[in-house]
Structure 1
Amino acid sequence: MTSEKRETFGRIGIWSGALHGSRANRAGRKAIEDAVAELDELGYGTLWIGGSPSPDDAAAVLAATRTVTVATGILSIWDHTAEDAAKRTAAIEAEAPGRFVLGLGVSHGPMVPRYAKPYSTMVAYLDALDGANPPVHRGRRVLAALGPKMLRLSADRALGAHPYLVTTEHTAEAREALGPDALLAPELSVVLGTDLDRARTIARDMLAMYLRLPNYTDNLVRLGFTESDFEGGGSVRLLDALFALGDVEHVKGRAQEYFDAGADHVALQVLTGQERGTALPRAEWRELAAVFADEL
């Protein structure tokens, strides 16, 4: 990782869909503020706000923290115009200089009624960001990317790529597609504990939604998985490739596999089985910060 990318992102980050402050009630917003302030103090490099966040969600997290980078992971380009995204990014930059990264993605056909031509739509969106006043500099944006075309676009028109639900094999292929200089920051889902049956149940519960989305299943087929791996919520082979299921030392070893494959940064998503709510797994985040102390 170049010194600039290390300074911006760090090696280890936290990805969480529970950080949508704009969706929470007052008590929920206070819980998020307390949690992200602690994550900042623990030393994580980047907080990725999952689940199609808005720039306002990022602004709220930035206001509650001091030094950590905050990224949208991932803002859907169908939900926000490029003009609005650029305007909000400029306002956030004025309040928290150098700490916000605009993560962009094309979402999924089954989730977007007007979904069409995702690649060309993303190109047009990036053109609009470049032409905005002020523009969103390519060094302040990353793209959700799985396939070769979107990965190359991530290198050409953004700081790099933030792939979600990927294997170490995909990470190696992504590094080759991106070249040596672009950021590669995959997400890695984690279930802490030594009860593998429980961990696999939690992983399959999370995976169920994604196995209905062709962007993910097509990518997994490209990596050598078959339809049989998608049955029953996911084969053990698939779970072992996509998740870190075990104690903190196992998680650290799995993250190292992604680094060895070419990742600059790994965004850890902690699953507890309560993801449909607003669970903030602060105890697990503390445990991980302790084992990754030399990386933070």
Structure 2
Amino acid sequence: MVDVGRVGIWSIGLRSDEPGAAEELREAAAELEELGYGAIWLGGSPGVRHAVPLLEVTSRIVVATGILNIWEHDAADVADRHKSVSAEHPGRFLLGLGASHAAAVKAYDKPYSAMVRYLDGLDAAGVPSSERVLAALGPRMLELARDRTAGAHPYLVTPEHTARAREALGPDRLLAPEVKVVLDTDPERARATARAHLGFYMGLPNYTNNLLRFGFTEDDFADGGSDRLVDAVVAWGDVEAVRRRVTAHQDAGADHAALQVLTGDRGGLPRAEWRELAAGLGLR
């Protein structure tokens, strides 16, 4: 199994296709490794190719797709790219896979069956199950992650979900939930930052249905999320508040926490916050 360490960074900004951003991305990746993070999770439906420049400028940190959309990338092509990247950087690339959402995919149909077929294709091409994880939320996808991959990378979840996911995965599979962070001690401002981010996800049934399983109601999804929901899925406050949330996930069975720092710039690189978290969490 790929070793992602205990804490990583989840970021859309680190997978930018803008030519002018390439140098800053490399610098940021190198700094994350120096700061002691165990993994970089590339958000925004990345391809395998987005991991390559970050792997090239680092020597230890794992780079993962968080997650690759199976509707957008052919399994055979992904397998070829995976083989090349893994040969060049052994033990440092993790293929995170997800079935996305009906609202975002034109030919969306039976995501569980589609994922099974995709994994069959990766198996046939020789991609080791130990080098891939699933963006699993519900029971069936978690069981598939247990049986066909190294584990699960759930997104927009609470520690209560982490506990249930650990039960479904068993003791030996990787469980690496994404954890949203707002480093702001002002409640009104912190929750406003969180809601600006959460509003998009409150319209996606994959996420809202999962939250309903954990006691939230439709009322909690209005206007970017109720205070109760925001406080449950976003660790806001100082670094100590983030530490408590990471500990809650770890106590519930998580092996790794993928921290997504939320600011007003969704695609930006919050490097000052990454430094503050690394120092406060004692990663070095």
TM-score by length of 1: 0.94
What does the per-residue CA deviation read over 1:241-264, in whole Å, with 9 as the maximum and x for residues that have no partner? 101000001101111000011101
Match of 2:15? 20
Secondary structure of the residue that 2:119 maps to in structure 1? helix
Secondary structure of the residue that 1:208 maps to in structure 2? helix
Structure 2 counterparts to residues 1-296 of structure 1, below 5 A: 8-21=3-16, 23-26=17-20, 28-132=21-125, 135-275=126-266, 278-293=267-282, 295=283
| Structure 1 CA distance for aligned equivalents of residues 215 and 89 of structure 2 | 43
RMSD: 1.0
Instruction: Tell me by how many angstroms 1:193 deviates.
Output: 1.6
| Structure 2 CA distance for aligned equivalents of residues 227 and 57 of structure 1 | 36
Instruction: Tell me by how many angstroms 1:198 deviates.
Output: 1.0
Instruction: Tell me by how many angstroms 1:64 deviates.
Output: 2.0
Instruction: Tell me by how many angstroms 1:118 deviates.
Output: 0.3
| Structure 2 CA distance for aligned equivalents of residues 64 and 52 of structure 1 | 22
| Structure 1 CA distance for aligned equivalents of residues 86 and 170 of structure 2 | 28
Residue type matched to 1:25 in 2? P
| Structure 1 CA distance for aligned equivalents of residues 275 and 96 of structure 2 | 25
| Structure 2 CA distance for aligned equivalents of residues 125 and 60 of structure 1 | 26
Secondary structure of the residue that 1:70 maps to in structure 2? strand
| Structure 1 CA distance for aligned equivalents of residues 15 and 162 of structure 2 | 28
Question: Any stretches of 5+ residues in structure 1 without a counterpart?
Answer: none
Residue type matched to 2:19 in 1? N
Residue type matched to 2:40 in 1? L
4+ residue segments displaced more than 6 Å: none
Instruction: Tell me by how many angstroms 1:25 deviates.
Output: 2.2
Q: How many residues align?
A: 284
Identity %: 58
| Structure 2 CA distance for aligned equivalents of residues 241 and 12 of structure 1 | 19
TM-score by length of 2: 0.98
Moved more, 227-236 or 151-160: 227-236
Question: Any stretches of 5+ residues in structure 2 without a counterpart?
Answer: none
| Structure 2 CA distance for aligned equivalents of residues 280 and 18 of structure 1 | 6
Secondary structure of the residue that 1:190 maps to in structure 2? strand
Checking the alignment, whether the CA contact within 8 Å between 2:199 and 2:223 is kept in structure 1 is: no
